[in-house]
Each structure stands twice: as structure tokens, then as C-alpha cells.
Amino acid sequence: MKAFKRAAAAIVALSSALSIAACGNSSSSDSSSMPEKVLKEDQQQIVERLSSGIKNPRKLDNSTIKWFSHWDINPTESADKDIGVDLALFKTAYNGKIEWMQTTWENYFDDLAKNVMANSSPDFIGADDMNVFPKCAIKDMIEPIDDHIDFSDPLWSDMKTASDKFTFGGKHYVAVVRVDPSYIWVYNKKIIDDIGMDQPADLYKQGKWNWDTMCEMCTDFTDAEKDMYALDGWYYENALLESTGMPLVDMQDGKIVNNIKAPELAKAEEMMYNLQKNEVVYPKDQHDWKVRGDVFGTGLASGLTLFYPIGFWGIENAPSSTEPYGNIADGEVMFVPVPCAADSDKQYIPSRVHAFCIAKGAKNPEGVAAWLDCTRYAEIDEAAHQITLDQLAEDYGWTEEMLEMRDEIYKMAAEAPVFEFAQGVSQDISNLTDNIIKGTMNPSGTHTWTELVEENEKALDYYITKEQESIK
């Protein structure tokens, strides 16, 4: 349980959120401490074209919407953090402004419930962490979006299938803007060359990037006497399990499904158990349950870590935040999809959604709908998408190889996503499944998958039945 609490506190998409998490109770912020971020002139012209092309623009009485989170959706993290096309379009088209209602990772749901009960609700929340649905719908903390989003509209029709996974009582509660890969396998090319291993990106292009080659590289690299461990972070267990194409807890037709007895999961966990037997994982249990250096990515640039499984957010960031991974501008940093089994029928991509929910009691839901439309225009317009790629290349130093791999992984995520719903059902299920998934790779006490199933299957069934009855 201690490990779970440490992990939960660590799952923060932006490094600034770590300091924010210490601020205590929720409060509002106008993010005025940072200078206003703007796009380059030619990029802003694209945004203005998009703005003038919005079909049936929303008529807003209020162009300010309140965002509730432990991190600021405005680009306030650092001076070298760019503004996104979605936010630039919202400002241009609607003179829109997003006001940040601060909370902490640990107190997020308690603070949200308090605000809803006190009639001081925010307008919208994020669903990217896959931890708000279905529990926020069950607990009446978010509202259906169907009165504001028309999935028959070409702007949203491509997202209907993904959004249909997030239905409760026949209504949609999550507006999916796009399907995102949850994790990628990040490494340092220079270190790979220095130790004489094949580049994972080359193995991937050759059809040889799989569990077998990954495990062999991890075992060959690890040298505890030199403090060299192949894997670090909080995500490798979840990533490898979901690479089977099957989550532990799924949502199917509005029903919560327990897949603990699936043979695909057993196969993955056996592979993970053997990895742990070879002690390839940085021993967080010997370091107060913290990753190396207590900073994501630490060890890659120095050659002490081989792979760092993490979300794109770990490296799609300002250069000041990505130094632990290596020098991106010098071509040191690269990534590949999460490896699958060598005999897998396809390349499954552990996925989540870039998505938003309207909070219960929101004062400006139509303003949120306008923001949501802007996020979709930013996604589907080719020139707007190119702005994102240009920012990654010109401002963050990304190479053409990185950009091409990024687009390929996103394409595969849209085609074969794997959504894990455990965190979104209840805290009991989240706690239990975290221990189940990570049990075969727990450095402080490893268990076989057979033991974990025998010890936890009935408890997981009980919690799922309990929550399923709430949905009926």
C-alpha cells in the first residue's frame, strides 16, 4: 500500500504540479504571474483562419471557464513552455480565458465533491488520467455532455466510438478529443550506441521489437554493482500488461468487466515475474519508494538506466524539463511503442484519452463546449497539427525521427487502443489492481501471478459487483 501511495503522488503530468501539490486546499488562480504566451505570427494566422471557419460558433454570455486540477492548463510551467493551438484558438475565437481552480493530486476528488456540494463547482475537469469515469458519474460529480456535443457533427463524429466507452445510463459523460498513447518506451540513443546494443527503433522497423528482445536487453544491461538498472519509473508494469491488448478492468456496454483470469494477462505477468527475478528494475524499495533522483527520466542521460517507460508528456515538454532524459536537440533521446509479445496478432497500444468532462453544477457549460470545439478544430486541421510538430522541432529540439515515430504511435493508438479503467471505477479497485498488476515486479516482495489471482480474484469481483450495482 505504501508503494501505491508513493506511485499515486508521482503520477503528475507536469513537473510544476509537484510543487503545486503542496499548496493545500483548492483555490482559484488567474495564472497572471507568467507573461502571456503567444504563437509566432505565421502560426497565429493559421489560428485566425480556423477561428473564421468555425461553423455555428457558440454564443457565450461568459467567455471565462473554470478549470479544476492539480496542474494549470495554461502554459505557466516555465518561460520556455509554448501555448497550444487549442488555447490560442479559444482566445482568438471567443476571447476565451481559462481560470485555474487549484487542488492537489491527493485531495482532488474530495475537493471536487466539496465544491459541487457547496454550489461552487468548476466548469470542467480533465479525464486524461483515466481516473474520473465511471466513478464521477456514479457519484454525480460530472454532467452528461450530450446537450452540448453532437456526435453526428463531422467535428465530433470520429470521436463517437471512443466516447461511447464512457457512457453511463445511456448518456456520454466524457468528451474525447483524441486517443493518446498512455506510455512510450524512452531511451538514450548515445548510451545504446556506447554499450553496443541495437537501437530499439531499428528493431521496431525490422519487426523485432518485442518482449523477448526487450527482456534480453534489460538483462544484459543490468549491473547492480555499478548501480545500473534497466527499468525505472512507475509505469512499466501497467504498460507491459496492457500491451497484451487486454486491460485488467474493462468497460463493455456500460458494464465493468474483470479480466483477471485471462490467459493473455497471465502470459504478460509471467514475463514480468522473470524480469524481476533478474533484478532489472531500479530498487525503489531501497530508496524510500522514489524513482532515481526523485525526478522522472533521471538515469537515461548518465547511462544508469536503459529504458524509461512514461507518457509522451515526459518528453513533450520544455527543454528545461527534459534534461534528465538527455539532450533532445543533439539527437540523444528516442522512443518506441511499448513492446508486445513476439506472437501478438497486432501492435497493441496502451492508451488513454485526451478528454474533458463538464462538472456537476457548472455555471458555464456552453463555454466549456466552445473550448471543446476548439480542441477538436486544433486536432483535425492539418496546418494546426503542423504547428504542434513545429513547436516540438523548433522550440523543443525534436528530430524528424522522433516526429515520425510519434505520428506512427498515435495512429496505432487510434486503431488498436487498450483502455484500463481500474483507476476510474473506485479507489478500492484502484488500490487493489495497482497491487495486483505490480505484484510480480514488486522489488520488496515478488509474487507469482497464480498467487496474486488466488489472493485477489474474489476481492476484485466483490468491488466490481458493488460498483456495478450503483450503475444499474
Same domain for 364 and 318, yes or no, is: no
CA–CA dist 325, 175 (Å, integer): 33
What global pTM score does this model have? 0.82
Of 144-153, 161-170, 220-229, 287-296, minimum mean pLDDT range: 161-170
Same domain for 316 and 455, yes or no, is: yes
Same domain for 318 and 396, yes or no, is: no
Same domain for 345 and 378, yes or no, is: no
Q: Into how many domains does the chain fold?
A: 2
Residue 35's pLDDT band, with cuts at 50, 70 and 90, is: low
Contact 258, 436 (CB under 8 A): no
Same domain for 154 and 286, yes or no, is: no
Mean pLDDT over 66-74 rounds to 95
Query: 38-56 in b/e burial notation, b at 16+ Cβ within 10 A?
Result: ebeeebeebbeebbeebee
For residue 247, give its domain range.
184-349+419-471
Tell me the DSSP string of 334-394: EEEPPPB-TT-SS--EEEEEEEEEEETT-S-HHHHHHHHHHHHHHHH-HHHHHHHHHIIII
Same domain for 292 and 390, yes or no, is: no
pLDDT of residue 33: 52
Same domain for 264 and 371, yes or no, is: no
Same domain for 202 and 301, yes or no, is: yes
Sequence-distant (6+) residues with CB within 8 A of 404 are: none
pLDDT of residue 14: 32
Sequence-distant (6+) residues with CB within 8 A of 442 are: 3, 276, 285
Same domain for 337 and 356, yes or no, is: no
Q: Does 317 or 16 have the greater pLDDT score?
A: 317
The residue length of the chain stands at: 472
pLDDT of residue 36: 77
Same domain for 167 and 111, yes or no, is: yes
Mean pLDDT over 86-102 rounds to 95
Same domain for 458 and 309, yes or no, is: yes
Tell me the CATH number at 229: 3.40.190.10
Same domain for 310 and 167, yes or no, is: no
Per-residue pLDDT for 3 more than 70?
no
Rg (CA), the chain: 22
Mean pLDDT over 251-274 rounds to 94
Mean pLDDT over 387-404 rounds to 93
Q: What average pLDDT does the structure give for the chain?
A: 90
pLDDT of residue 29: 52
Cell of 229: 538498472
- Matching residue, cell 533532445: 328
Choose among 274, 289, 284, 249: nearest CA to 425: 249
Contact 75, 100 (CB under 8 A): no
Per-residue pLDDT for 168 more than 90?
no
CA–CA dist 125, 127 (Å, integer): 7
Quote the distance between the C-alpha of residue 18 and its chain's center: 16
